[in-house]
Amino acid sequence: MCDHNQGVIIYADGAASPNPGPGGYGVVLFRNGGRQELAAGFRRTTNNRMELMGAIVGLRSLNECETVSTIYSDSKYVVDMFNGGNAAKWRRNAWTRNNGKDKVLNVDLWSELLRLSADRQVKFIWVRGHTDNKENTRCDELAVQARQGKDLPSDEGYETSAVPAPPRQLTLFDMPAVRTIPSPTYPATE
């Protein structure tokens, strides 16, 4: 049983290069005077998915007494969509946005983030990435190292989703082969 709410500070970052491509997340947690670092990589994913995964992994590491969390992230996507209530609104609207016209991407991760934060006081704070914030820099280092790992597992939520591949410029070699269609034969006329 918990005597009081214990606060935890979480720094999280994600990276994918190219995007989409191999990706990873890095997390630094501060709790009870201690520090913990977490990281993992995936063979094909996106930067936004890894930004979300960092926050999710940080929240998953909390115990039931750790109910107050501040998450620092350099992802405006994650910070603004969570703090602004967009993610909760998307869930209420059957994971659509723009009045049902567009499907929300990364539903599996947004759903998990909302589930994990439901019984906690979670606040995201945006920090400028790749500057002098040493914990955000450390998370980025962890994420980059993780995406460079060997034999990375698949990001099932990305690789099995119906997200189309990004468009690319077609070249002459991408053109379908030309088929020769035999000319019809006509009876000779006299």
Distance in angstroms (rounded) separating the CA atoms of residues 185 and 190: 15
- Which domains are present in the chain? 7-163 (3.30.420.10)
Interval 7-58: pLDDT, tens: 899 999 999 999 999 999 999 999 988 999 999 999 999 999 999 999 999 9
13 is a catalytic site residue: yes
Distance in angstroms (rounded) separating the CA atoms of residues 44 and 22: 5
The answer to whether residue 173 scores a pLDDT higher than 80 is no
Distance in angstroms (rounded) separating the CA atoms of residues 173 and 122: 51
Q: How open is the CA angle 47-79-72, to the nearest 5 degrees? A: 90
At 171 the pLDDT is 57
At 174 the pLDDT is 52
130 is a catalytic site residue: yes
Distance in angstroms (rounded) separating the CA atoms of residues 21 and 44: 5
| Catalytic-labelled residue, pool 41, 51, 54, 112 | 51
The mean pLDDT of the chain is 87
State the pLDDT confidence band at 187, using cuts at 50, 70 and 90: low
The answer to whether residue 74 scores a pLDDT higher than 60 is yes
